Amino acid sequence: MNNRYFKLVFLVTGILLSACQDHSSNHAKPSVISAANKKSGSGRIEFTKEIHNFGTLKEGEIVVYSFQFKNTGSLPLRLTKVEPACGCLSVQFDKEDIEPQEVSAIDVIFHTDGEWGNQVKTVAIATSDGETKTLTIGAFIENKNFNIDLNNLK
């Protein structure tokens, strides 16, 4: 009786393990394939440059930098969020769909009124396909009200 019991337990365990193994491999492959297909059939934003340094500016200047990008995907792309991190920045961009292989730009306008010293500012970007990017500008702002010669302090 013991020998038949062990054979039965061994047989049932083997069937259960092979059944579980077959189901898990069947479920994993389609999700990987569908994720790859979804990514290849989308818009994709690719900037030529994501950081720009204006160098030294005088307080009160208004400067603009145009961040160029291309839709390198296979479907149209739309910018759903172009959000400056502060009130000293404003942006201009095309609100229509950008077709595959089409080039466009986001103009970042920096108003330096009241700014001084080293400044680093960002703009958050999101696309209709869920892709996110961050554009960054930087400058050193000369402001006569805040510039202090630390070597002459007594």
Residue 126: CATH number of its domain: 2.60.40.10
Q: Which helix (H) or strand (E) holds 88?
A: none
pLDDT tens digit sequence for 117-139: 999 999 999 999 999 999 999 99
Mean pLDDT by 10 residues, the chain (154 residues): 51 43 38 40 94 97 98 97 97 96 98 96 96 98 77 59
108 and 122, same domain (yes or no)? yes
Q: Is residue 147 included in any domain, yes or no?
A: no
Predicted pLDDT of residue 26:
39
Same domain, 134 and 62: yes
Query: Residues 32, 65: one domain?
Result: no
For the chain, what is the domain count? 2
pLDDT at 104: 98
Is 26 part of a structural domain of the chain? yes
For 28, half-sphere exposure in the C-beta direction (CA atoms, 13 angstrom radius) is 6
Question: Residue 41: its pLDDT value, please?
Answer: 73
Is the separation of the CB atoms in 91 and 123 below 8 Å? Answer: yes
Which residues span the domain enclosing 32?
A: 1-40
- pLDDT for 150: 56
Token digits for 40?
A: 């290849």
Helix (H/G/I), strand (E/B), else coil: 35? helix
Q: What is the DSSP string of 92-120?
A: EE--SPBPTT-EEEEEEEEE-TT--EEEE
Q: Quick check: is 154 in a domain?
A: no
Three-state DSSP at 51 gives: strand
Q: Residues 127, 41: contact at Cβ < 8 Å?
A: no
Q: What per-residue confidence (pLDDT) applies to 3?
A: 55
Bridge partners for 64 per DSSP: 109
Q: Which two tokens stand for residue 26?
A: 């069947």
